[in-house]
Structure 1
């Protein structure tokens, strides 16, 4: 490939890899992997925690299919602009409920609700866009490998540091939610 072609294709490649990294680093895999822990720490029993995790996973699956159906009708930009604010609000509410113990006796239900709302809007929006971007970059052969490495590398980075980060935050949490 000529230098001019390489320079012309660099911005879409960087944008595509950035979207892939953002899709993973914004936390959906943390919610999937640690949903039983969140729910159990919120006061539900082990069995209820596993059932709620199944609910989160089924929601992820269904909303991914919904996202794949609507993405070409609405467009990537519109889908992002419509979904990301709800993702942010669900995380802010979840953080407030956990940090300030806002929900009292209903805290566990609020946690599950925030997780489900997060999964609905995240999986139908930026998550679908993040996974489809690799196939849409002009230099598919070279880009698909970089795209997959970015997705899974970002996931590994986030999952590899998650417990350390949450343990540090838990020691500062006034409600003691994540403390062992």
Structure 2
């Protein structure tokens, strides 16, 4: 993942562990659980605890984990991905809370029905966890498969959204 500008970032606590949020001048460009696969090196990024978008993101995540169903309406900057990845990430945004889809159905949705593995790879590299809801993608048989933040977190997120009991 390559960011057009050096992001600002902040860390904050959630019930599922600490998260790192990052923003450019164009919008939120990253949201990762600590230890999540594909988390970028932030050595050159700017710590910005007073950044308004990052503060709003942390507040939104607090409300989300408290059970709020309000939609995330702040700007996203997904330009760090390839055009294919961006198409997959935009398709993820169409999966409503309380619903799931499969990698095969997502492949159909992006017009690449035979590219299931490539779609799965793009889902796994989603830079904005939870808000770009990659956790809502299941195996074709409904099984919980892959999640860069760990299957325990995927299960907890789906339970929070009322998908799993």
> What TM-score does the superposition give when structure 2 sets the normalisation length?
0.29
Larger % of strand: which?
2
**Which structure shows the bigger proportion of residues in helix conformation?**
1
TM-score by length of 1: 0.27
